[in-house]
Structure 1
Amino acid sequence: MPAPVRIALVGNSFAAKVQLPALRWAGGNEVVGIAGTNAPRAEATAADWNIPVATTDWRELLALAPDLAIITTPVDLHAPMVRAFLAETGAAILCEKPFTLNATEAADLAREGAGRLCLLDHQLRWSPWRRRLRALVQDGFLGTPWSGRIQMHFGGPARLNHAFGWWYDAERGGGILGAIASHLVDSLQFDMGAVLAVRARLATYRKTRPDAEGIEREVTADEHATLWLRMANGAEVSVDTNIMAPNSTGSLVEYVGSEGTLRLEEEDRLLGAKHDAKIAPIELDASVPTHTELGMPDQGIFARILPLYLKDVISAVGEGSATLADAATFTDGIATMRVLDAARRSATEGTWVPCQP
């Protein structure tokens, strides 16, 4: 039996709820250290999951010589952490999205990680429903692509009243454009090719939120993002994602072309039809573990897909591979960040902005 892949887990916000149950399901790995900003919480996670090292100084994990570093921290910390693990260890990298604060930073990291297994946590690429959708698009089911609409809303009273944290601070990379639209843009470009230009509207509805001490802090990050995208293949696609609409939750991907329509509803119901037929479900083998099987609370489709992705990442690391087919790479991250940069500029200037170099 091959030795388990040694993992350094940088970030503890969702480790016990999501990453560690997913890693347990994936198998073939050993978490050798975890870093978090709260010492008692990091120590508790380590004790519960038999992790030998818990620290508030992520640099201590460099000395553990991990095979894989999983970085799940605020966005402004991604670049220095990735750079350190690339420079001081031989570890492969799996970095949370959004990749960086901007495309320039993403391009720098991609150059520094060239020749290494450097991936982003766009796990929706491992969704069996999205994979079937992409295969149909690539096989020409749509004919000439005409249009698309993509929606992903997260709402609820808890989010409306959530306390201030880095997620609401634009300078730290907070906001729904990075958190969710990055996933949607990555999936769109994976399905349909490059985005050429963007028109965007970004909105912040709660202008202040109380921090942990009850002090009102200004919210500078976006809570609602709407993007209109011109694709290199000629299609125009709208993307809408919102965390401030409690009764408007839901997920939709719909592509329309000269010959057919494809629609993915709520991430687990794929439908399609040629234009001379009524749209109907498309059957596929979609074996995805349940939250019960994973031993985690219900964290939505992202959490259920993650272990499928991690299983293949761990396999690639164990084999010493510098690539993993279909996974989002740092180079893919540059393309996504160019779209997000253009969206921010468009929202400020009120015009279409090109997003290709």
Structure 2
Amino acid sequence: MSRTSPALGVAVIGHSFMGKAHSQAWRNVNATFETPEVAMRVLVGRNAASVEESARRYGWEESSTDWRASILRDDVDIVDICTPGALHAQIALFALEHGKHVLVEKPLANTVAEAQAMAGAAAASAASGVVSMLGFNYRRVPALALARDLVAAGRLGELRQLNIRYYQDWLVDEASPMSWRLRREEAGSGALGDLGSHAVDQVRFLTGANVSSVSATSRTFVTRRPGTAGTEDVTVDDAIWSTLELDNGAVATVEATRMATGRKNSFRIEAYGSRGSLAFDLESLNHLQVCDADAPTGEPGFKSILVTEPEHPYLKGWWPTGHVLGWADTFIHEVRDLLLAIEGGTPASPSFADGLEVQRVLAAIEASAAADSARIPVS
């Protein structure tokens, strides 16, 4: 596809939190990077009035409450799925069946079986030039992309251990109301799928290794919450703690909770190797802390890299050195990578196959927690 080809039409399914973030990305990607042109054709939601208002605010040409009809439009080339997890498989399989490129928010699905079906359909569609991608946006944080480059280049030596924790506190108050994220039939799991999926993906992304076995514990601290008709049972976890064995010999600890009082969105990653280490926190996402064990005597410890240089990942499209980026910009990087994969006819990453591997780890963590922290192989 040349740069002068007609614009690629986009439909986003879902218009609340993630739909808003993705809409901003589609609205700004052509202004930030040299990519194929996009046209924001239709925003889809369940409530006609609210999705119409969102479409107007976010810059969409139209709104709709019919995701099937929106996907079947001749002027829609890309389907971006931002719904609760229970709908991911159904919508993605329909879109792939009809030859549309697909982006799906994480986690890929609610079950391993759904993820297997999606990965299989994506692989089959790829033979016809259809591109599919999973939306783990933290792969697009420049500091974490740089961290992966450093690990791959051997700067940390033999990688031995990782500590990854994702802490939020928006459910600490027992009076916080029920939402779809607290119902297993819609969300699949709680902090495990919502936050832990990011952590597991970063384990695989940073190390290039797969998880071979897990041991885990989970808790639901508040078991009932106010609903629209009285209180409802919370059917997912509030927090998980797990230890992951990797097939390269390293060990990772992964924690995820939405009950960490005072932590708004703290995604902390530490990696330790024989020659160095690194640390990152999403609440300071333009910085990467790096320790070089081979530094001269008397110069131990971490140095802070401000990841805003034009040589750093994704920075060529942005501002002069020192002008920091934000969380929402990772979604612009995400859709940029999808568009370049479509243009080049190349596979996009992370793939649905990557999402399936993450789903298998999540399932093993859940099984281990249910079996009193028994070590469970990932399969």
Shift of 1:158: 8.3
Between the aligned partners of 2:290 and 2:100, the Cα distance in structure 1 is 42
Q: Structure 1 counterpart of 2:12, which letter?
A: L
Shift of 1:112: 1.2
Corresponding residue for 1:48? Answer: 57
Secondary structure at 2:278 match in 1 = strand
Identity of aligned residues (%): 27
Deviations 1:178-197 (A, max 9, x none): 11111111121011111111
Corresponding residue for 2:40? Answer: 31
Structure 2 runs not aligned, ≥5 long: 31-36, 295-299, 320-324
Between the aligned partners of 1:256 and 1:230, the Cα distance in structure 2 is 15
Give aligned pairs, total.
342
Q: Structure 2 counterpart of 1:338, which letter?
A: R
Q: Structure 2 counterpart of 1:352, which letter?
A: R
Between the aligned partners of 2:248 and 2:60, the Cα distance in structure 1 is 48
Alignment of 1:295-310 (within 5 A): 302-310=327-335
Corresponding residue for 1:124? Answer: 138
Deviations 1:3-24 (A, max 9, x none): 2210111111126642222211
Contact (CA 8 Å) 2:19, 2:82: kept in 1 or not? no
Q: Structure 2 counterpart of 1:78, which letter?
A: H
Alignment of 1:91-240 (within 5 A): 91-114=100-123, 115=126, 116-156=130-170, 161-172=175-186, 173-192=188-207, 193-211=209-227, 213-240=228-255
Between the aligned partners of 2:327 and 2:113, the Cα distance in structure 1 is 27
Alignment of 1:231-250 (within 5 A): 231-249=246-264, 250=266
Corresponding residue for 2:15? Answer: 12
Deviations 1:106-146 (A, max 9, x none): 12211112113111001111111001111111111222222
Corresponding residue for 1:314? Answer: 339
Runs of 4+ in 1 over 6 A off after TM superposition: none
More off after superposition, 65-74 vs 260-269: 260-269
Between the aligned partners of 1:248 and 1:33, the Cα distance in structure 2 is 36
Structure 1 runs not aligned, ≥5 long: 291-299
Corresponding residue for 2:267? Answer: 251
Q: Structure 2 counterpart of 1:10, which letter?
A: I
Between the aligned partners of 1:157 and 1:289, the Cα distance in structure 2 is 35
Q: Work out which of the residue numbers 78, 81, 86 in structure 1 matches 2:91.
A: 81
Corresponding residue for 2:376? Answer: 353
Evaluate the alpha carbon distance shift between residue 76 and residue 315 of structure 1 in structure 2; reply closer, same or farther with a 3 A threshold.
Answer: same
Corresponding residue for 2:79? Answer: 69
Shift of 1:80: 0.8
Secondary structure at 2:80 match in 1 = strand
Between the aligned partners of 2:288 and 2:206, the Cα distance in structure 1 is 15
Between the aligned partners of 1:274 and 1:320, the Cα distance in structure 2 is 37
Secondary structure at 2:328 match in 1 = helix
Secondary structure at 1:308 match in 2 = helix
Between the aligned partners of 1:15 and 1:255, the Cα distance in structure 2 is 29
Between the aligned partners of 1:335 and 1:73, the Cα distance in structure 2 is 21
Q: Structure 2 counterpart of 1:312, which letter?
A: D
Deviations 1:18-47 (A, max 9, x none): 222221111221121121112110111223
Between the aligned partners of 1:137 and 1:227, the Cα distance in structure 2 is 23
Secondary structure at 1:113 match in 2 = helix
More off after superposition, 10-19 vs 213-222: 10-19
State the Cα RMSD in Å: 2.2
Secondary structure at 1:105 match in 2 = helix
2:275 aligned with 1:275: no
Deviations 1:50-102 (A, max 9, x none): 53432222112122132100001111111111111111x22100001111122
Between the aligned partners of 2:198 and 2:103, the Cα distance in structure 1 is 15
Evaluate the alpha carbon distance shift between residue 64 and residue 159 of structure 1 in structure 2; reply closer, same or farther with a 3 A threshold.
Answer: farther
Contact (CA 8 Å) 1:16, 1:45: kept in 2 or not? no
Superposition TM-score, scaled by structure 2 size = 0.84
Q: Structure 2 counterpart of 1:199, which letter?
A: S
Contact (CA 8 Å) 2:246, 2:252: kept in 1 or not? yes
Contact (CA 8 Å) 2:12, 2:23: kept in 1 or not? no
Q: Structure 2 counterpart of 1:69, which letter?
A: V
Contact (CA 8 Å) 1:32, 1:64: kept in 2 or not? no
